[in-house]
A and B are shown apart, each in its own frame.
Chain A
């Protein structure tokens, strides 16, 4: 009977290999600063974000929200809009992002005032 067991491979030790779980996609500062992140948002905004202004406040707002929603859906598809927004907001407290934010703001500053400061 032992022989038959051998044939069937019953006595052989089964190797249990734990397949590592696929790493969970995270919305972190690297993703946010990657090409698909804020750089893309800024590029797109220049090209697409147009407002009609007075009298069209709500359609403008809907537009604006749709703009952010689609960008976030591309960046981090699995989270809902409001969830993703709060995640991004939290990331805004990280050092790396804060310095980048300062840089982007400074780009918009008029040259002369920067000189005055320094």
Chain B
């Protein structure tokens, strides 16, 4: 307890020990021109501090020592000064190297991401974590912006002797050193202001851009490239940590923007501004249309007369001019809100849906790194990790498979965008002979990868781990798009390979089922998931349709049970009870045989009919509800789907529901409708118009639709309403 009655949050004895250690570490003296001077027993002090962290904080599951160290400014005041005092020309100094390593051994636990596991948190955690989270931001800022020396580069120098050895010669200690340095970079890349916390300092100092600039300036990208390209040869177990670093560097980065030239980026930013101003103007115009033209106490009153001489009074002049506005006004005065479930969006360091903007220099640096990585590190790193995931290596955690799929998807997209930009520049210069093959990314296009991906999607779907599923869906989408591009590539070898892969993807009916099921079962998993699953569905349908047109006799392997056979087998089975056991195993064999795959001809129309169920429609409707925030490509995706439902498959009845009509009407006619200057506006206008026309005609044709307009329809009802007769179903007798 202090003199003023404030109670200290940390045991005073602990505080005393720790701060005396910090003091003994060293300091800057006036007689040395303010230079930092190491204490006599600095190394021992550093080791003691490490011991405190380990034996007090970790063992007792408290955060007291970390809190004390944060309050005493150990990182900025001492550790960084000590690291800076190890100049590059003194790399051979054994003592200094040892001390530098000891500093790193403290920095890594101090910057380690704090897990908030509600079940295991104690009072102490709740007390210290908010403070420590802010402190970590300060650590990151002082480390990557340190003026005196390149701290990250110094860290690399600590590990260089260990890295230089061949993996067989490395001791456990060497492996540990390499790991510590890598984790240090991981922490630097990961630390970001936690959600819902306002950071006092300048966010630009710790932003992603600052991190990327620092990694470039301090040659960390070189180290990462070197490690990735020799993964499996010079490095083995470090793969997941390296991937962790990559993940935190590129998550949420917009690839299109990354590959724009600076002028393009400038243009696009101006365009963006113009677009935004236009959007704002349209918004204001929308309001002004219904805004009162007189002062707010003008007091106009109107009524809507309804049946049985019933009247509803509404106030305000806007209501008098227009019946729809009057009804909208009537609706807006209602207060009742039905109970609603909150959306399950995820925020935190593992979130990859939050978009990130990069500064021009950071964009340049990251782009060159990404290009180098695809050229040299993509195949070795990702093949190596895929193998580790497959054999469930001990170092692979759950989080790593999510990162793996996200990164594979991300880099595949980056490669596609890069090819596109290259193609543009190549068409200008006539040297068209240097068409590159897709071998740079071939490491993730083999059969093993599909097995892993399919398995991951299945388990994520079954265990309801939506973020994992979202990542693997993105990966799958990018693989599809890459393979499709490959099949259009002028190189014949690539065409053959692509053909092969596509046939393998579309050959398995389980994949068809999976995509349909995922699309069907969306339910408040957040926008990122919704985006991923609609994107997959759109591209899967599109590419499969194209493929099945080219290969008319496509066969699929399906796993259909034939109940009939089973029954017959049972009927033929022996009735005597002692034969039961044998009978059972026979039945099992039978079942397995039934499970066994049988091939049948693929019929795209029938396949696409699976996407006409209400669940899929609802998913796309949920997606379309965000129409004002969707990018042109996303709007197009939704448009194509509804077009397919209504006109290609002729099941527009699935869209005849009052809330859907209301949404479409609002999109076109407002208020807050789709911006009419958008290029896609016309497409939507046509679609909605046609739909409404069909809908009104249908309602006249079949009056019973008046009721069904309120409800979700099962496919047999929908079929009857659409065609006027029941679906012919083949029944086996």
Are A81 and B331 in contact, with the CB atoms below 8 A?
yes
Interface bin, chain A:
35 or more
Interface stretch of the complex, out of A3-11, A13-21, A66-74: A66-74
Which residues from chain B sit less than 8 Å from chain A, CB to CB? 306, 312, 323-324, 327, 330-332, 334-338, 657-659, 661-662, 664-665, 668-669, 688-689, 692-693, 695-697, 699-700, 702-704, 706-712, 717, 720-721, 725-726
Question: With contacts defined as CB atoms under 8 Å apart, how many contacts are there between chain A and chain B in the complex?
Answer: 120
Are A45 and B703 in contact, with the CB atoms below 8 A?
yes
Besides A64-B661, A66-B323, A88-B710, 12 more A-B contacts (Cβ < 8 Å) are: A41-B706, A42-B706, A53-B693, A53-B696, A61-B661, A79-B338, A80-B336, A82-B662, A92-B711, A101-B707, A104-B707, A113-B725
Interface of A is mostly: helix
Cα of A19 to Cα of B462 in the assembled complex, Å: 49
Are A82 and B665 in contact, with the CB atoms below 8 A?
no
Are A66 and B707 in contact, with the CB atoms below 8 A?
no
Which residues of B have CB within 8 Å of A46?
703
Cα of A41 to Cα of B697 in the assembled complex, Å: 18
Q: A81-B331, A83-B337 are in contact. Are A101 and B708 (CB under 8 A)?
A: yes
Candidate in A57, A89, A108 with the most chain B CB atoms within 10 angstroms: A57
Give the contacts of A51-79 with B (CB-CB under 8 A).
51, 53-54, 57-58, 60-62, 64-66, 68-70, 73-74, 77-79
Which residues of B have CB within 8 Å of A22?
none
Q: A57-B689, A105-B717, A113-B725 are in contact. Are A79 and B336 (CB under 8 A)?
A: yes
Cα of A80 to Cα of B340 in the assembled complex, Å: 14
Are B706 and A89 in contact, with the CB atoms below 8 A?
no
Which residues of A have CB within 8 Å of B702?
108
Are A73 and B330 in contact, with the CB atoms below 8 A?
yes
Are A82 and B707 in contact, with the CB atoms below 8 A?
no
The 8 closest A-B pairs by CB, nearest first: A92-B711, A108-B704, A51-B696, A78-B336, A45-B706, A57-B692, A57-B689, A85-B659
Are A66 and B704 in contact, with the CB atoms below 8 A?
no
Which residues of A have CB within 8 Å of B710?
38, 68, 85, 88-89, 92
Are B327 and A57 in contact, with the CB atoms below 8 A?
no
Which residues of B have CB within 8 Å of A78?
334-336
Cα of A80 to Cα of B338 in the assembled complex, Å: 9
Are B330 and A117 in contact, with the CB atoms below 8 A?
no
Cα of A92 to Cα of B55 in the assembled complex, Å: 61
Which residues of B have CB within 8 Å of A79?
334, 336, 338
Residue in contact with A101 in the complex, picked from B306, B658, B689, B711, CB distance below 8 Å: B711
Are B717 and A62 in contact, with the CB atoms below 8 A?
no
Q: How far is the CB of B309 from chain A (nearest CB, A)?
A: 14
Are A60 and B696 in contact, with the CB atoms below 8 A?
yes
Closest to A65 in B: B662
Which residues of A have CB within 8 Å of B699?
49, 51, 64
Which residues of A have CB within 8 Å of B689?
57-58
Q: Mark A101-115, 1 if CB is under 8 A from B, else 0.
A: 100110111000100
Cα of A101 to Cα of B662 in the assembled complex, Å: 22
Q: How far is the CB of A104 from chain B (nearest CB, A)?
A: 5
Q: A53-B696, A60-B696, A101-B711 are in contact. Are A89 and B324 (CB under 8 A)?
A: no
